[in-house]
């Protein structure tokens, strides 16, 4: 069965440090006609479940625990019987949304199998302490969450974030991938490693 990548764009808010912003999030669904993994759990469980259809959900991977990426995680978990997976360094952010609900710890180097392919977890802190990217070598695709976007790294001007750390994550982990690797981001348009790598010096001059 052919593996494919589906996605939906959901809309809601992101709140941190006393500020709230309207945001659109990309929710990625990787699998075949029988089983999938959901990457990020943003805003609208019904819309995500409609895209999943009747396929089994093997896992709900949260690229980090900002509220706009996890705010329907428990709804999805209850509807699908799938585990919510998150890097434990983001537990303080998780607790802002779910003071009493736990998640399955997700670690650097972990491999999740779905539809006959492997999804490799890359810990890429900076935007958040537990931020991860999900790399699918068989598809030549990286799901970057909010670590890397078209046009630069994710924001680092808020609590729990750090600009030098995100730059290290991008240069040491992501820019080691082939230039042809397609980068599916947590917000906005997709890009490639090759499109973004030449702009590193501009990002360093710009700062966070």
pLDDT averaged over consecutive 10-residue blocks of the chain (208 residues)? 94 97 98 98 98 98 98 98 98 98 98 98 98 98 98 96 98 98 98 98 88
Q: Is the distance from CB of 153 to CB of 167 less than 8 angstroms?
A: yes
- Say how far residue 147 (Cα) sits from the centre of its chain: 8
Query: How far is the C-alpha of 105 from the C-alpha of 112, rounded, in Å?
Result: 13
Query: What is the model's pLDDT at position 207?
Result: 78
CB atoms within 10 A of CB 155: 15
Whole-structure pTM value: 0.97
- In order, the DSSP letters of 49-71 are HHHHTTPEEEEEE-S---HHHHT
Beta pairing, strands 104-105 & 84-86: parallel
């Amino acid at each position: 069965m052919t593996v494919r990548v589906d996605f939906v764009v959901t809309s809601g808010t992101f709140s941190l440090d006393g500020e709230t912003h309207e945001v659109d999030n990309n929710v990625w669904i990787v699998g075949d006609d029988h089983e999938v993994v959901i990457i990020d759990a943003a805003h609208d469980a019904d819309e995500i479940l409609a895209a999943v259809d009747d396929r089994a959900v093997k896992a709900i991977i949260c690229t980090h625990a900002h509220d706009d990426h996890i705010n329907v995680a428990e709804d999805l978990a209850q509807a699908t019987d799938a585990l919510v997976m998150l890097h434990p360094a983001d537990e303080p952010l998780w607790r802002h949304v779910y003071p009493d609900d736990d998640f399955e710890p997700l670690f650097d180097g972990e491999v999740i199998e779905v539809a006959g392919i492997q999804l490799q977890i890359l810990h890429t802190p900076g935007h958040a302490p537990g931020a991860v990217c999900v790399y699918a070598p068989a598809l030549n695709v990286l799901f970057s969450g909010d670590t890397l976007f078209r046009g630069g790294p994710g924001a680092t001007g808020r609590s729990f974030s750090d600009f030098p750390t995100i730059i290290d994550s991008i240069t040491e982990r992501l820019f080691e991938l082939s230039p042809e690797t397609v980068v599916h981001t947590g917000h906005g348009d997709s890009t490639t490693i090759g499109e973004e790598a030449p702009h590193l010096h501009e990002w360093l001059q710009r700062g966070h």
